[in-house]
């Protein structure tokens, strides 16, 4: 029996990994995810993504720095564990140092369920207030997206299923 590597689930307990392996062995992981996360969101352009992120920032993080750019980035990949990036590019303008805040979301999120897009945008927005993945960071994520931890886990299941489908081709 071949042991399936669960690279997106390494930090989870062996018991939970065993449950996922059982779903995979019974070929039910895709079905499980399809039931929970049906449909695809309509945020398909960089302009729409910017508006989406701005609306969430305005609702939950009014005092956070403004966003200068939000876009889908086809160069972000899973190999480097980057599903999204939050950067500040500093430039001198008129004798002052200005920091432009950018959020880049991996292009794979164009084809996901609405809940997964919201989860990754919430994650990147939370970095505007909390730079590190600390307890305060995850509390902020949970505030902006109730059930955040479950969504993050389910996204990891989705990425696992996506890899399985790619390797089956």
pLDDT per residue over 11-41, tens digit each?
999 999 999 999 999 999 999 999 999 999 9
Q: Whose CA is closest to 76, among 67, 90, 86? A: 86
Structural domain harbouring 103: 40-164
Percentage of the chain beyond pLDDT 90 is 73
Q: CA 71 to CA 84: how far, in whole Å? A: 10
CATH number at residue 160: 3.30.2010.10
- Stated pTM of the model: 0.88
Asked if residue 23 is part of any domain, the answer here is no
Q: CA 90 to CA 75: how far, in whole Å? A: 22
Asked if residue 11 is part of any domain, the answer here is no
DSSP-assigned letters across all residues of 55-98: HHHHHH-TTSPPPSEEEEETT--TTTT-SEEEEEEEEEETTEEE
Q: CA 59 to CA 45: how far, in whole Å? A: 21
Report whether 164 contacts 24 (CB < 8 A): yes
Asked if residue 106 is part of any domain, the answer here is yes
Asked if residue 8 is part of any domain, the answer here is no
- Output DSSP code: residue 2: P
Asked if residue 45 is part of any domain, the answer here is yes
Count of structural domains within the chain: 1
Asked if residue 2 is part of any domain, the answer here is no
pLDDT tens figures, 84-120: 777 666 667 777 777 788 999 999 999 999 999 999 9
Phi-psi region of 131 (alpha: psi -120 to 50; beta: other; left: phi over 0): alpha
Asked if residue 94 is part of any domain, the answer here is yes
Asked if residue 50 is part of any domain, the answer here is yes
């Amino acid at each position: 029996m071949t042991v399936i590597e669960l690279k997106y689930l390494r930090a989870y307990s062996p018991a939970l990994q065993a449950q996922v392996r059982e779903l995979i062995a019974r070929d039910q992981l895709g079905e499980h995810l399809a039931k929970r996360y049906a449909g695809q969101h309509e945020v398909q352009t960089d302009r729409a993504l910017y508006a989406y992120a701005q609306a969430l920032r305005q609702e939950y993080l009014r005092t956070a720095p403004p966003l200068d750019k939000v876009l889908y980035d086809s160069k972000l990949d899973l190999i480097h564990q980057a599903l999204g990036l939050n950067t500040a590019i500093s430039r001198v303008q008129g004798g002052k140092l200005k920091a432009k805040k950018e959020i880049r979301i991996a292009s794979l999120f164009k084809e996901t369920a609405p809940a997964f897009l919201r989860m990754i945008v919430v994650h990147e927005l939370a970095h505007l207030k909390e730079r590190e993945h600390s307890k305060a960071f995850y509390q902020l994520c949970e505030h902006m997206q109730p059930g955040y931890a479950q969504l993050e886990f389910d996204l990891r299941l989705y990425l696992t299923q996506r890899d399985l489908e790619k390797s089956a081709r």
